Structure 1
């Protein structure tokens, strides 16, 4: 049973849901930091029930629920909190929703209210996520009608602010996202005779993908890597992997006697303990481009999302049987070689790119067709950005596209 229309416009709800997902809290285990808030609320207001919850598209899920007889969540249409979320948009200056007697409200027929011993008093305050979108609520409930004095209302707002701080705040996520983006090199490398375009679009505020490029003697090194997982944990490991690979690659190229496989092995030896202790692994496509003749040496460590688009439009997928970093100890990685002729393009992506293509069966083939339709690096990246904007994928999307300019 519902109690009215509290639906947001589809575009607003989509952005709000993205903020909910970026918190990475849905269906997570109970945490004492939220239990402290609900315990304090019950003591301060002498009420039998208090909760901290998130609202997704179909349900109200409780991160912490004291005194409420429920199994983790209730249908969104059967909640008062859907109105609290809407109030966060319509009355941001006074977002608290107070129902002194729910039987005298439009919510009187909701199961949680009309049932024997149901909720007669409700006070809810919206909690905000990334982008400032209302993602959930802090609530207190009573089984009898009551009023809040001005002092109690002030305490209620302060407890809501405490709950807000315990969520991964917008500022923290935005700062982490800004730092992660700043660690990426320029999207367009300055390589005479070549055109380069790159992008990295995290599914959440921060992510586990990265790309990198930097000059070495005789050419330029490019990397696309994907650390298992999403969110802040993957982002921390990403920075570690990037630093280890940069150091190892530059050391290998300075000696001149070792190849890319040795660089990947050296990087893995630096981060092996970290990957083991966090039960993580990394897929990686690491390459060196000799800009003089178009020769490309590459290592594919379980990545599998790379292809060459020839001048005539044919697409050659690049693959290997080498494992990701962190799957098994004492792995080695082989160096392979291709050559880019004038007019050819090399495209390396992460598995999130698969979410951008429509395919009933062979996603990889559909991806190859997508790449073939957009051989120009700038055009390919622009199309990928447009598709991500139209339908945000579930995984990070990273692309590096390198085209050798056609002969004059």
Structure 2
């Protein structure tokens, strides 16, 4: 049997495929949030198998499959779910497809997954929808013997399908948030004569509470690394606010000619964010600096961050400390700028505490200072951080900025 009887118009199929692509889930590994649904379904209905599937042009992907030993995907033409997808468009008022005995229905009896020893006899499928309202997948129950669902069971089946639908929507929201957060990171600086700069931000989840920023500030270079307490979407929302407030305050202080008073910049940001940080019980550690390229002088404020290392050309490491509290701890706190000079061959490395998490699997003896000493070149340091994250998936957001003054 082929899928011809369940084919959709080309324009609908194209829109449906685009909706699926927007989710960025097809071909990804199973997830516990979907496994909770399929386990619950098997327990409630007493069926041997349940699944959450994604259907592209040619395949049925098992985002979560509980109770059957199959591969990651099946050909779409062999899947009963192709009919459930079609039903979302042909019978939208009642899109659930329930087959009490699929082997007794001619349209399905010849499918290789139906009938036979251990094959599907009972099937219940409900379409799942992606952005734009197009059917992109299914939530399903399977049994190897014929059976039926009464009205109460059918209502429960719809509720579990609604749970799966909410998880898909959550994935879409997170992906969109992740795209926005990535786009808020600055573009590479390009040419900065006499210096090399590299930065990377690796969220532990789809979105994170770390951010870095760098931009030209008159004749100088402003750069920042901040870490909002927490992870995930809540921290990411606050991160965007911190970034915006810091850029605005920095440029405002520069415009009024306050000689780049970084302490005043951080004071202004803290005052602007006090209500938000207090109401959300959140604090922010922050390293904000301005480099004068001509002299190599870096003026900086360390607001409870404490993970900045100056690696001298000869290999000596100096950990910079600021003494200031994180933003959001005390309303009357004021921050004072300090300074350090980058000589030719020196590298300044600023890291979030997520880098410490990545270094710990290497034996615990590796510190940020040692890591920076082993990787004085900014590009190689960022590459090494990414390699670590691939080997040991981070439990916390890991962010690094490295600024090197080139040897003469």
Shorter-chain TM-score bucket reads 0.5 to 0.7
After alignment, is 304-313 or 158-167 more displaced?
158-167
* Rg larger for: 2
Q: Deviations over 1:231-250 (max 9, x none)?
A: 11111111111110001111
Alignment size in residue pairs: 323
The residue aligned with 1:341 is 343
CA contact (8 A) 2:358 2:394 kept: yes
CA contact (8 A) 2:285 2:305 kept: yes
Aligned counterparts of 2:257 and 2:172: Cα–Cα separation in 1: 45
Aligned counterparts of 2:221 and 2:39: Cα–Cα separation in 1: 48
The residue aligned with 2:73 is 89
For the structure 1 residues 95 and 311, does the alpha-carbon distance in structure 2 shift closer, same or farther, using more than 3 Å as the test? farther
SS at match of 1:211: strand
For the structure 1 residues 127 and 270, does the alpha-carbon distance in structure 2 shift closer, same or farther, using more than 3 Å as the test? same
Counterparts in 2 of 1:30-41, with a 5 A limit? none
Aligned counterparts of 1:309 and 1:185: Cα–Cα separation in 2: 25
SS at match of 1:192: coil
Q: Deviations over 1:128-152 (max 9, x none)?
A: 99xxxxxxx967799x971469xx9
SS at match of 1:381: helix
Among candidates 274, 285, 308, match of residue 310 of structure 2: 308
The residue aligned with 2:289 is 287
For the structure 1 residues 394 and 99, does the alpha-carbon distance in structure 2 shift closer, same or farther, using more than 3 Å as the test? farther
- CA-CA distance at 1:358 after TM superposition: 3.4
CA contact (8 A) 2:38 2:65 kept: no
- CA-CA distance at 1:254 after TM superposition: 2.2
SS at match of 1:210: strand
Calculate the aligned-residue CA RMSD, in Å.
4.2
Q: Deviations over 1:305-360 (max 9, x none)?
A: 11011101111111232111011211111211110000000011111111221368
Aligned counterparts of 1:269 and 1:85: Cα–Cα separation in 2: 58
Among candidates 266, 275, 278, match of residue 276 of structure 1: 278
Counterparts in 2 of 1:353-364, with a 5 A limit? 353-358=355-360
Among candidates 262, 265, 283, match of residue 263 of structure 1: 265
SS at match of 2:271: helix
CA contact (8 A) 2:34 2:164 kept: no
The residue aligned with 1:193 is 194
Q: Does 1:382 align with 2:383?
A: yes
Aligned counterparts of 1:368 and 1:172: Cα–Cα separation in 2: 38
Aligned counterparts of 1:85 and 1:225: Cα–Cα separation in 2: 46
The residue aligned with 1:16 is 29
Aligned counterparts of 2:161 and 2:210: Cα–Cα separation in 1: 34
Give the alignment's TM-score, normalised by structure 1. 0.67
- CA-CA distance at 1:123 after TM superposition: 5.8
Give the alignment's TM-score, normalised by structure 2. 0.67
For the structure 1 residues 128 and 358, does the alpha-carbon distance in structure 2 shift closer, same or farther, using more than 3 Å as the test? farther
Counterparts in 2 of 1:196-275, with a 5 A limit? 196-257=197-258, 259-275=261-277
SS at match of 2:367: helix
The residue aligned with 1:399 is 400
Q: Which runs of 5+ in 2 are unaligned?
A: 1-24, 46-63, 82-97, 102-115, 131-137
Aligned counterparts of 1:275 and 1:67: Cα–Cα separation in 2: 43
